[in-house]
Amino acid sequence: MSTLTVQIKFINRVKTSFLPVEYKKQQKLPMRLRGSYLDHLNVFSKTILISEDYEARMAFSKAILELSLLCPFQISKSCGFGDKLIGCINDVEFGDFYFEIYQHYKWIV
């Protein structure tokens, strides 16, 4: 048995009350140990058991599908006009899976 840990990383100003209860908030690193901008984000993670490594893609896509139905944000690989990057979704073990989370802002003309 293997595991797949799905991480959701949000900027501080995003409300996360819509996340399922399976996603547990991880503690941030102390300020002096934060090396990149990703270390400043709020991290929520969920561990999924998979029987073989080749099932990781299917398990990750299932997690993304569930989140896209619950999430009031846009989960995609690229942004549209007027979208603001507010976080990302990735995995820990494989490092192959990555999606960005955007919030759409309406422009006043």
pLDDT tens-place string over residues 27-56: 888 888 888 877 788 889 999 999 888 888
pLDDT for res 46: 92
- How many Å apart are CA 10 and CA 87, to the nearest integer? 4
pLDDT for res 45: 92
Going from N- to C-terminal start, the domains of the chain cover 2-104
pLDDT for res 26: 87
pLDDT for res 108: 63
How far is residue 96 from each of residues 22, 62, 76, 99, measured CA to CA in Å? 22, 15, 15, 10
Which residues of the chain are modeled with pLDDT < 70?
106-109
